[in-house]
Amino acid sequence: MKNLSVQNILFTDFKLNGFYSLGEWRPFLFIPFFLMFLLSITANSILLYLIIGQKSLHSPMYVLIGLMAVVDLILPIFFVPNMLVSFLFNWGGISLVGCLIQIMFCIFYVGAFQSTLPLWMALDRYFAICKPLYYHKYMAIPSFLKFVVVPLIRNGFLNISMVSMAGKLTFCVTNVIDHCFCEHMALVQLACGDISINNLVGLLTALLIPTFDFILVTGSYVVIFVSVFKSGMGQMKAINTCITHIIVMTSGLSFALIAFMSYRIRNNFSTNSRVFVSTVYLLFPS
């Protein structure tokens, strides 16, 4: 009877409780995360101001950099302030609907553009360096939109599918999420019944968006470097325009895959380590 009564409790409100095991030291996390948040907001705001204010920077490449700054500006706003309040006042309440909205729009859909935008940047660099005679033809807005539509549809379809499937679950295990934001698997693992389909869809989303984009970006930059070396152009030109994208995507993707796989394979990851890695892959690129 006791077990039956517990299973009949269906939770629709949750508490985010990341780094709870730190106890009295948990409030001190406010300082490093606030400084990272402040740096992200300040740096990306300055970058946007410069791109908007300088007419010489109104080219496709700098427009894409500006869009990346927008993504890196708004993504931390969606989850860092709540996280900081939770550190200071131990408040982390969120409804199921709020959690699903945060996952879909504030985390995964917006965060997906941290890999999709570098893919468009790589396309811009490819035509600028390898096919300069065709640059204006393919990078003009009407032509470039053809390259934009497919990733937009892909990102939207995968993320909406993943979140809608999570919304159909019933949650009876507990209403405490061991995380600082509504990470997909942190929420799904609290559900009653089989979650294998949710697990698979979440993994496919990680593979078909950031991993697939990373492979395409890496491949395009290999072609760019080969073209530069063969043509005898200055090697620093290619390095300066491409290496930053590779570093950011490599670091972000590495942390993201570690976080995703830590829920799916047997490992010795502590809850604090998993939460830290998940937070870093969203905040570090910004």
Q: Is residue 1 part of a domain?
A: no
* Exposed / middle / buried, residue 74 (Cβ in 10 Å: 0-12, 13-18, 19+): middle
Q: What is the pLDDT of residue 3?
A: 42
| Rounded distance between C-alpha atoms, residue 51 and residue 139, angstroms | 18
Q: What is the pLDDT of residue 1?
A: 37
Tracing tokens 């604090």 back to the chain, one arrives at 272
Q: Is residue 193 part of a domain?
A: yes
| Domain count along the chain | 1
DSSP state letters, 131-173:
-GGGHHHHHSHHHHHHHHHHHHHHHHHHHHHHHHHHHT--B-S
Q: Is residue 4 part of a domain?
A: no
Q: What is the pLDDT of residue 235?
A: 53
Mean predicted confidence (pLDDT) in 165-181? 87
Query: ∠ CA(262), CA(117), CA(261), 5° rounding?
Result: 5
Q: What is the pLDDT of residue 5?
A: 41
Mean predicted confidence (pLDDT) in 2-22? 71
What's the CATH number where 116 sits?
A: 1.20.1070.10
Read off the tokens for 283.
Answer: 């905040």
Q: Which residues pair with 171 in a beta bridge?
A: 191
Express each pLDDT in 128-159 by its tens digit: 888 888 888 877 777 777 888 888 899 999 98
Nearest to 126 by CA among 105, 144, 108: 144
Express each pLDDT in 79-136 by its tens digit: 888 889 889 888 878 888 888 888 777 788 888 888 888 888 888 888 888 888 888 8
Q: Is residue 191 part of a domain?
A: yes
Q: Is residue 255 part of a domain?
A: yes
pTM, to two decimals: 0.82
Express each pLDDT in 36-52 by its tens digit: 999 999 999 999 999 99
Mean predicted confidence (pLDDT) in 185-212? 88
Q: Is residue 262 part of a domain?
A: yes
| Choice between 6 and 105, residue whose per-residue pLDDT is larger | 105
Range of the domain at 69: 10-283
Q: What is the pLDDT of residue 42?
A: 93
- 14 in Cβ contact with 90 (< 8 Å): no
7 pLDDT more than 60: no
Q: Is residue 221 part of a domain?
A: yes
Q: Is residue 3 part of a domain?
A: no
Express each pLDDT in 207-252 by its tens digit: 898 889 888 888 888 888 888 777 765 555 556 666 777 777 787 7
